[in-house]
Structures are given as C-alpha cells and as structure tokens.
Amino acid sequence: MQHLTRFLCAALITLLLCFSSAAAQSPDGRRAAQGSSNRVSVRAQAGAPLRISSVVDNSDDADAPLVEFVVENVGAKPIQAFWISYDTVAHGANVTLGMGVNANKPELTLPSGKRRALAIINRAKEKIALSVDFVEFYDGSTWGADTARYAESLAGERAGARAEAERLIKLLKMNGPQAVKEAIADKVNYPDLTTGSRSEVSFLIGVRATRFRAQQAYEKGGLPAVESALQQPYDTSAASLSR
Amino acid sequence: MNKMRCATLLLVVALVGTTAGCNLQEIINLLRSAGFFIHTLATVREAGRTRIVDHPHVLTNGFHQRDFAGAAGDSRRCDVETDDTGHATCLQGRAPAIWEFTYFGDRSGLNLCANQHFAVFSAPLATSDILCTDTIGIFFTAVPDTIDVQAPPPVVTVYGEGISTEYGMPLVEYWNETGVVVAQTTADQVAPDGTWISANTPYIDPNSTFGGAYTVGINNVMADGTYNTVGYASLTVTNSNPPPLPEPYPEPTPEPCNNVGGEQMICETTY
C-alpha cells in the first residue's frame, strides 16, 4: 500500500510539472520573439586565436531553433581543443553554458585558417552572448581564462584513458582475453562529487571512455580488435600521442 | 494538445492521489528529488538548411557543476545511454543546476561528438537538449558573398577544400532561404589542390525573388555518377528592383458553425 501511495504521488507530481512547464514556457517565447533582432552577440576578445563569426540566428524556426556559427583558427598554431561559452537565460536564471570540442581524429584539428561550423539550440529564444573561453594548441600550450576548467578535464580524461588502456593491456597479457572481456564490461563507480573533484571525475571519464571503445571494438572484431583499440591514443593531442 | 492531455491526466491522477492519501510534505519531498531528462540531438545539413534530428543510443556521462536556488536531488552522476529517440532520464539528478555531459560515443559506431563536452541547464522534470554538431556541413566562402540579381557578377568563386574533378566537373547548386534549389550550374574551373571552384553565376529570375540568405552547395561527382556535397557557402542575394508585392490574401471566410448548448464552437476557416 505504501509503494502504491508513493507511485501515485510521483505520477501526480510528474503531471503537475508537465502542465506547469508547458504553461510557463509560452510567455517567454513570445517576449523573446519580439526582440529577436539583437538576440545573439559575440563578445569582443583581443588576441583570441579562435574567431567566432558567420552567426546565423534561426531561433524562431520551430523545427530547428538553432544559433549557428563558425569558429576559425586565426592564429598561427594548430588547435587541438577549445571551449565555447555562451551566456543566456534558462528558466529565469542567468547561466553560462558551453561546449568543449576536442579533436578525437586528425581531421578535426583546426590548422591555421581552418573553420568549423557549430550550433546551439535556443528553443526559449533567449539572448545569447558567445565567447571563446579556452583554446589548447596542438603543442600543448593554451590560451584563455578557462572558466569552464576544460584544461583540467582534458588532462584528467587523457590520464584516465591512458591508465585504463595500460591496465587492460597488462590484464590481457597476464590473465588472458576472458579477464579483459569482463573488465571492460565493469561499471565505473563514480564517487560523491563536488566541484573540487573535477580531476578525479575526469580521470574516471577517461577510464569509462576507454572501456566503451574497447567494448565497441569487441562487438565489431572480437578480442584481437580490443587489443588494437587499446593501442590507440585517446585523442590527437601531443599529450596522448607521446604515450 | 499536450496541455489538454496533461490537464486531463492531472485531474485523474489528482483524484486518485488524494484518495491514496498523498500529503503535501511527501509530494514536496518527491518533487525535490525527481530528476530531469536529457535529449541527445544531432544536426544534418539538408537542402541548404540545417535540421536537427534525434541522436539515438548515445552513451554519455553527466557531471554536476553548480546549483541554482532550490536545487535538490542527487549530484553523484548521470551515466546513461539514450534510447532510440535520443532520450534518457537522469533519475533523481540534481536540478535546477548546471551539468556537464561528456559523450563517449554512440552505438552506430560513428561516435559523432566523442570526447566532446556539453554544459547544460537542468530544470526539475524538464528536458535538457544536448546538440552534437559533428554532422554539420563544412562551411565554404563565396566571393563575392553578396550578389544583386539585377546585375549579377559574371562568376562566383567558392573557397573551401576537398573539391574534386576526378569523375567530372562539380555541380554548384543555389538554394534559396526556404531550401528550394533555384539554380544549378557546372563548375568552369577548379583549383588543382581542390581549394576553390569558380562557375558562371546562374540566372536567378529577378521577377521571382526579393533576395535573402541563399546557400551555395558544392557537389563532387562520384564514380557512379551521383553527387556528394562537400561544402556550403552563404550568399546574400539582393534585388535592387524587386517585383511588386503579391496581392494580399483575402479575408478568411469562416465556415458556418453551430452554437451548441450556448457555447461558441471553434470553427475552421478557409483561405
């Protein structure tokens, strides 16, 4: 009886929120639609090696409410990874969101002069201010304030991926294929997190990514493919390739 | 329609819930740990426009970043695989808050956006979109980037990469802002290193366009004679002597409708 009560309460809450969310979103949409002309801006950043340009605001397109833009490497050095931030309003709160792009294959690195198209969804038709938060060059040097602490994430992921690949290769040699098959199916247990534990989490994300790659390789080509996958670097960064 | 459905269901469940003895504190406690949903999406470039589609079976991990007023729920993790429509639930995931999701890959094996991070806002029991743009077309540059259909330049050159004449001269397509091909032409010249293409500017009927944001698509000819789009360039088309505006639509003619039981019914209108 107690379970039934809890279930019914949960269902009730879900429906309440469904209704209130639908009711709350439409006024915002209308308000923003009226002032759409200056909805998207790009923050001026002196000396940024990555330039945001060709911004197209299609937020009013009901089927694809996108803000599309292009990032271009206007510096001299090839870019391996970068973080694009955008300030906006979500459910009434001022927030800074963003995306981190890390080249996981050579054709995704950005040599000097090369451009890459990106987009973000803007269903709420809110104002958006784009900026470049962080750039990591192919040689490992960096640029930017890195408020998103992306450098820490990248370092943790690469270290985790490398450590897990080495562990699995060792396991394969010592305990054989079955042990590796079981190891890559293991779940990663994440600890209770705080924002201070980013390095630890990033390390585990690297571990998780390696197991996922190994699983994919196993499904496609069995254990021989797993060994080959484990030899591959996590990404195309100097940090990964110098392993 | 969704509102109506929710309202009806709400009424039914409210009645049942009350009968089952939900109290306010219990509702609040459940509400505060109910979590949020994610929806993984991808972009595709089609007919000169960008569309968004479901990105199914993405394996991703969410890492809680920071709370907003009233945040509740579990900040531990959201390690999920989205379903065949790209949806997943971060059960009891903390909200409202900012989460950072990392893509590990997708079951298709293409692993679009693998290793990428997406910082998204979570609202209680609402859906946070996560958009992968790896599938978006490569942006090329058109020179000139603006043409007047009354006096178009003889040639438009598009700069990019991967343009090939191996199986024939590439096809250049002009899409208007509604995604309709308004002109096609074959390239006249292609750089040996595939970094530019030039073609005579096709005729765009000045009497049928007011101008707007056009897209130029560059298509290589493949071995089997089909075309493969290698990139797109934006082109602003203007018309210095636009055609007269079309006649305005006639006023809608309401269909006769009945007043049933003293309540005005919603009637269809035809144009």
Q: Within 10 Å of residue B23's Cβ, how many Cβ atoms?
A: 10
pLDDT at residue B264 in the model: 43
Average pLDDT over residues A165-177: 91
pLDDT at residue A124 in the model: 92
Give the gap in angstroms from C-alpha A242 to the nearest C-alpha of chain B: 19
Residues in CB range of B155: below 8 A, 6 or more apart: B188, B198, B199, B200, B201
What stretch of H or E contains A157?
helix A150-175
Answer whether B212 touches A (CB < 8 Å). Answer: no
Rounded-to-integer distance, Cα A120 and Cα A128, Å:
10
Residue type, B115: N
Give the gap in angstroms from C-alpha B256 to the nearest C-alpha of chain A: 31
A5 → closest Cβ in B20, B65, B77: B20
Q: In this structure, is the dihedral angle defined by the CA atoms of residues B71, B72, B78 and B81, taken in order, positive or negative?
A: negative
User: Closest Cα to residue A153, out of A212, A101, A104?
Assistant: A101
CB contact under 8 A, A212 and B59: yes
Cα-based angle A34, A37, A40 (whole degrees, multiple of 5):
110
- Using the predicted structure, report yes or no on whether residue B39 has a pLDDT greater than 70: yes
- Assigned token pair, A24: 């709350």
CB contact under 8 A, A104 and B52: no
The pairing of strands B227-238 and B211-221 is antiparallel
Distances (CA, A) of B76 to A191, B31, B67: 7, 18, 13
- Using the predicted structure, report yes or no on whether residue A184 has a pLDDT greater than 70: yes
pLDDT at residue A18 in the model: 42
CB contact under 8 A, A13 and B119: no
pLDDT at residue A51 in the model: 94
A15 → closest Cβ in B13, B61, B133: B13
Please list every residue in chain A whose beta carbon sits closer than 8 Å to the beta carbon of residue B31.
13, 17
The least confident of A12-21, A195-204, B108-117, B165-174 is A12-21
Query: Counting one residue from A and one from B, how many pairs have CB atoms under 8 Å apart?
Result: 182
pLDDT at residue B136 in the model: 42
Rounded-to-integer distance, Cα A160 and Cα A26, Å:
44
Average pLDDT over residues B44-54: 73
The string of DSSP letters for B171-210 reads EEEEE-TTS-EEEEEE-SEE-TTSSEEEEEPPP--GGG--
Q: Tens of pLDDT along A19-56?
A: 443 333 333 333 333 334 589 999 999 999 999 988 99
The least confident of A2-16, B200-214, B219-233 is A2-16
Rounded-to-integer distance, Cα A230 and Cα A98, Å:
30
| B119: region left, alpha or beta (phi > 0 left; psi from -120 to 50 alpha) | beta
ipTM: 0.82
The pTM for the full model equals 0.67
Answer whether B133 touches A (CB < 8 Å). Answer: yes
Q: Tens of pLDDT along B142-199?
A: 899 899 999 999 999 999 878 989 999 999 988 776 656 788 999 999 999 898 999 9
Distances (CA, A) of B183 to A176, B180, B187, B205: 62, 9, 13, 10
CB contact under 8 A, A118 and B136: yes
Q: In this structure, is the dihedral angle defined by the CA atoms of residues A111, B116, A21 and B12, taken in order, positive or negative?
A: positive
